[in-house]
C-alpha cells in the first residue's frame, strides 16, 4: 500500500483522489453498495428523510391508483422521488458543513438554509403536480 506522500503525489499528478482507482463494472458494483450505505445512513440519522420516505411509501400506491394515465402517474411518483433526492443532497451538505466545524458561522448557516430551501421547493413541487393532476 502506498504511503501518504505517494498518495499525495498521485493526487497532485492526476488531480484525483487516490480512492478513485476502480473502473468498469467493479466501480458500478462498489457504487451500488456505497449507495446502499448512504440509504442506510440517511434512514438511521435523518428524521426528515425517514418522514419523507414514509410519505412516499404511502403516496406512491395512491399515485398509481389516482393517476389516470402513465404520464400522470409518472409525474406524481417522480415528484416524490425528487423530494427524496433533494433531501439526501441536503443531508449530505449538512453533514459536510458539520464535519468542517460545529461553530456558528454565516456561511455554514447559508449553506444549510439554501439546502433546506431546496427541500421546501421540492415539496411545493409535489403539491403543484398532485394538485394539477387531481384537480386541474
CA distance 24 to 22: 7
Distance, CA of 7 to CA of 25 (rounded, Å): 24
Catalytic residue among 16, 46, 72, 87: 87
* 87 given a catalytic annotation: yes
CA distances from 34 to 19, 27, 94 (A): 13, 10, 19
Residues 6+ positions from 101 with CB-CB distance below 8 Å: 108
Residue with cell 431546496: 118
Contacts with 91 (C-beta within 8 Å, 6 or more apart), sequence order: 42, 45, 46, 48, 49
Active site residues: 87
Amino acid at each position: 500500500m502506498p504511503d501518504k506522500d505517494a498518495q499525495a503525489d498521485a493526487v497532485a499528478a492526476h488531480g484525483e483522489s487516490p480512492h478513485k482507482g476502480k473502473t468498469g463494472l467493479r466501480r458500478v458494483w462498489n457504487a451500488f453498495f456505497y449507495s446502499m450505505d448512504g440509504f442506510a445512513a440517511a434512514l438511521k440519522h435523518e428524521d426528515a428523510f425517514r418522514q419523507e420516505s414514509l410519505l412516499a411509501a404511502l403516496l406512491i400506491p395512491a399515485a398509481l391508483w389516482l393517476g389516470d394515465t402513465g404520464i400522470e402517474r409518472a409525474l406524481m411518483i417522480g415528484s416524490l422521488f425528487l423530494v427524496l433526492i433533494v433531501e439526501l443532497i441536503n443531508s449530505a451538505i449538512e453533514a459536510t458543513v458539520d464535519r468542517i466545524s460545529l461553530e456558528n458561522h454565516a456561511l455554514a448557516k447559508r449553506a444549510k438554509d439554501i439546502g433546506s430551501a431546496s427541500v421546501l421547493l421540492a415539496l411545493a413541487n409535489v403539491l403543484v403536480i398532485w394538485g394539477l393532476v387531481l384537480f386541474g
